[in-house]
């Protein structure tokens, strides 16, 4: 009986010390975590979205957004426009966001990549029978530029 009691006491000490070590380890890690404020959309972006909602245009372009701003834009667009039920070619009815997003790289600022976001209204595109409405918007000129400078005789 004393042997089993000794083993239990030893086991409880080991578990207790392990728990203390875990708490100390987590405590040192938690202090190094910093919480960032959510990024805000650029000035005028919300007004642009509201004007676009009232107009009957299929696409709208928002330029020079960071990764956090693209996420915030997706939240705002989902809340502002909501869902729509569309019928596929197979006859299946699906519920999707009313606005789709096509994100393209557009450069960088201070070492952070920037994106160009093409927003398109799925309901208006379906009415006008546009299968890929983001292609209506012309590509940025930087996408057509060569990455290396060619010699004069190759141009």
* Whether residue 26 sits in one domain with residue 52: no
- Which residues form the domain of 86? 45-137
**Does some domain include residue 24?**
yes
Tell me, yes or no, whether 89 and 123 share the same domain. Answer: yes
Residues 122 and 81 reside in one and the same domain: yes
Domain match, 78 and 118 both: yes
Q: Judge if 93 and 55 occupy the same domain.
A: yes
Q: How confident is the model at residue 144 (pLDDT cuts 50, 70, 90)?
A: very low
Write down the pLDDT at residue 119: 92
Mean local confidence (pLDDT), 6-21: 61
Do 88 and 123 lie in one domain? The reply is yes
Instruction: Collect all residues with Cβ–Cβ distance below 8 Å to 71 and sequence separation of at least 6.
Output: 39
Number of independent structural domains in the chain: 2
- What is the rounded CA–CA span in Å between residue 90 and residue 92? 6
pLDDT in tens, 75-85: 999 999 988 88
Does residue 148 sit within a domain?
Answer: no
Q: Within a domain: residue 72?
A: yes
In a domain, 151, yes or no: no
Q: Is the pTM of this model over 0.85?
A: no
Residue of higher predicted confidence among 29 and 36:
36
Lowest mean pLDDT among 19-23, 39-43, 97-101, 104-108: 19-23
């Amino acid at each position: 009986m004393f042997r089993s009691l000794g083993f239990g006491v030893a086991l409880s000490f080991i578990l207790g010390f392990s728990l203390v070590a875990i708490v100390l380890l987590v405590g040192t890690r938690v202090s190094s975590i910093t919480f960032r404020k959510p990024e805000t959309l650029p000035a005028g972006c919300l007004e642009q979205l509201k004007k676009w909602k009232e107009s009957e245009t299929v696409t709208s372009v928002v330029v020079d957004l960071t990764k956090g701003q693209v996420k915030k834009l997706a939240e705002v667009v989902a809340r502002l426009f909501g869902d729509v039920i569309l019928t596929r070619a197979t006859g299946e009815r699906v519920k999707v966001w009313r606005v789709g997003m096509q994100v393209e790289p557009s450069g960088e600022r201070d070492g952070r990549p920037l994106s160009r976001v093409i927003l398109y209204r799925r309901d208006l595109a379906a009415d006008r029978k546009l299968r890929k409405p983001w292609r209506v918007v012309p590509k940025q000129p930087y996408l057509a530029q060569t990455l290396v400078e060619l010699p004069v005789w190759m141009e």
